[in-house]
Structure 1
Amino acid sequence: MLHLLNYIVWNPDPVMFHLGGLTIRWYSMCWLVGLVLGYLMMHRLYKDQQIPDEKFDPLLLYIFVGILAGCRLGHCLFYEPGYFLTSWDHIIEMFLPIRHMADGSWKLTGYQGLASHGGVVGMIIAIWLYCRHTKLSMWVVLDNFGIVSGVGAMFIRLGNLMNSEIIGKVTDVPWAFIFERVDGYPRHPGQLYEAIAYGIILLISVAIYKHRGPKSVGTGFYFGFCLTTIFTFRFFIEYTKEIQEAFEAGLPFDMGQVLSVPLIAIGIWAMCRKPKKDKEKTESTK
């Protein structure tokens, strides 16, 4: 029999505070903090690599839209296609933060469901468009994102923890969390495992960059290191997490693991590729 008093009881209010009629949730704030910190770190890297500010200025808009769209579409298409692709109302819900209610009305709900794998795809597309606009080397931008991406991933998982979502399997480890808004069982705090891992990956990436210097950016190593380490950890941590959708119960691997494999392969390729001399990289630092 499980001794429930030995575990961490977790039931925070997902709402951080109210500002007039506006509700600020912990999850939204974690997204914002991760985005701002990543923005500041990227700005520091650009300055360190002597890339002009005018090339940096459009980056935030491209990345914000790309990651948000990728995360949202990734969730809808990978995890709930049976819902979102069955009617025009549900297709509208894919793109707008609203929900068609049973009484026929529309309710503002926010984006309920975001997938990190889709966010990576959205980010890469956004970087490609950004690089076409600024004429910067795509490998330089990808490497810089590889260095800082751990901060965003870490805060997103902390947001999941505050929401008591993406919970782990039942366990008797002494650090188990009882997510009261889910059930009364002690479970692996998978969100916390991931947040800690991504923070460590961030520190390692920054340490490697400081050791190797700005000239090491543009080879694809940092981008590959980010994908390989984050999604290899993600693959194995899925064994401690509950499935998110019922259809995953019949699969040998859950959807998070299936989607991690190609990203790990891309990461290994990026680290091992032999970079060519990049004329754009040279021009961008003048």
Structure 2
Amino acid sequence: MDLLLLATDFFTWSVDPVAFSLGPLEPRWYGVLFASSFLVGFWLTRKMFLHAGRDPEEVDQLLTYVLIGTVVGARLGHVLFYDPAFYFRYPSEILKIWHGGLASHGAAIGIIIAMYMFIKKFRDMSFLWLADRVVVVVAIAGTFIRTGNFMNSEIVGQPTEVPWAVIFTKVDMLPRHPTQLYEALLCILVFGILWKVYHAYKTNPPEGSLFALFLATLFSGRFLLEFTKMEQAAFAADWVFNMGQWLSIPLIGIGIWLIIKKVDWNQPDIQKQQN
């Protein structure tokens, strides 16, 4: 059946990406939600540092590292993974982030590098200890960012006839999977799992456990959800798996390896301590 004939049966999305106007300033929903993710992340990270008896002022420095790592990594990830031919031809466009183009896999790599650089300043802090806390924040931040993508009508899904399909009028009149919302819900689920484990071990989970669970669950979910998403890299249109899936595979592998080989799951948790 022609999806265009069914257009009136689906939810239509045509929201202005500009959140509000303040004189000459017109903040966009994506920018507002992106900034909100860092504010929530800052508060949550300070809370976890206090749980560990660490100086919460360390989080001020960490925020700077992670913010730079996120933006630089996400931008370079988009440039190198999704449209290298264009950016190599027009290198001046690389710095024009306001034109759009941030890749979550690039952000993940950028954050990992930022954490390695940060822990060099603290001999009493291991990479895995820090990663366990940062990924909790990254998981909830992903919800904000993917919601921002939905508000912008970007990173849309494949055409579909499922009852919850959405017509993004700024793209076309085809009902499509709201893949951005699928990924936002996935991030909430992963956050819930990590937060549950974090508190099950009285805010002191086995080192590397949350980082490992984050990599294995989030990117496994991402791998599956990519089947509902439009290909972002034109040169990968004929591949068996799309670019997002190929980038997810090594991260899933690292997560599974950590779960099996690295994490000491025998550390007593709150349930065992009560028995």
Q: Assess same fold via TM > 0.5.
A: yes
Query: Is residue 190 from structure 1 mapped to residue 179 from structure 2 by the alignment?
Result: yes
Among 197, 202, 214, which residue is 2:191 paired with? 202
For 1:57 and 1:175, how far apart are their aligned partners in 2?
41
Runs of 5+ in structure 1 lacking a partner? 98-109, 277-286
For 1:242 and 1:235, how far apart are their aligned partners in 2?
13
SS of alignment partner, residue 231 of structure 2: coil
For 1:53 and 1:170, how far apart are their aligned partners in 2?
47
Query: Is residue 92 from structure 1 mapped to residue 92 from structure 2 by the alignment?
Result: yes
State the shift of 1:111 in Å.
4.8
Among 103, 108, 116, which residue is 2:104 paired with? 116
- Partner amino acid for 1:58? Q
For 2:235 and 2:154, how far apart are their aligned partners in 1?
18
Superposition pairs for residues 25-44 of structure 1, below 5 Å? Answer: 25-44=28-47
Runs of 5+ in structure 2 lacking a partner? 265-275
SS of alignment partner, residue 120 of structure 2: helix
User: Contact 2:72 / 2:110 at 8 angstroms: preserved in 1?
Assistant: yes
User: Contact 2:223 / 2:248 at 8 angstroms: preserved in 1?
Assistant: yes
For 1:249 and 1:93, how far apart are their aligned partners in 2?
23
Greater alpha carbon shift after TM alignment, 254-263 vs 3-12 = 3-12
For 1:72 and 1:147, how far apart are their aligned partners in 2?
22
**Aligned length, in residue pairs:** 260
- CA 1:239–1:274 in structure 2 vs 1: closer, same or farther (change >3 Å)? closer
Instruction: Report Cα offsets for 1:142-197 as digits up to 9, x if no partner.
Output: 01112222111111110110010111111111100011111111111000111011
Instruction: Report Cα offsets for 1:183-219 as digits up to 9, x if no partner.
Output: 11111100011101111111121111111123325x2
1:262 maps to which residue? 250
Query: Is residue 164 from structure 1 mapped to residue 148 from structure 2 by the alignment?
Result: no
For 1:31 and 1:274, how far apart are their aligned partners in 2?
33
1:235 maps to which residue? 223
Among 163, 166, 178, which residue is 1:177 paired with? 166
Q: TM-score, normalized by length of structure 1?
A: 0.87
Percent identity between the aligned chains? 39
For 2:96 and 2:172, how far apart are their aligned partners in 1?
31
- CA 1:10–1:130 in structure 2 vs 1: closer, same or farther (change >3 Å)? same
- Partner amino acid for 2:201? R
Moved over 4 A (4+): none
Q: TM-score, normalized by length of structure 2?
A: 0.90
1:153 maps to which residue? 142
- In terms of fraction of residues, the more strand-rich structure is 1
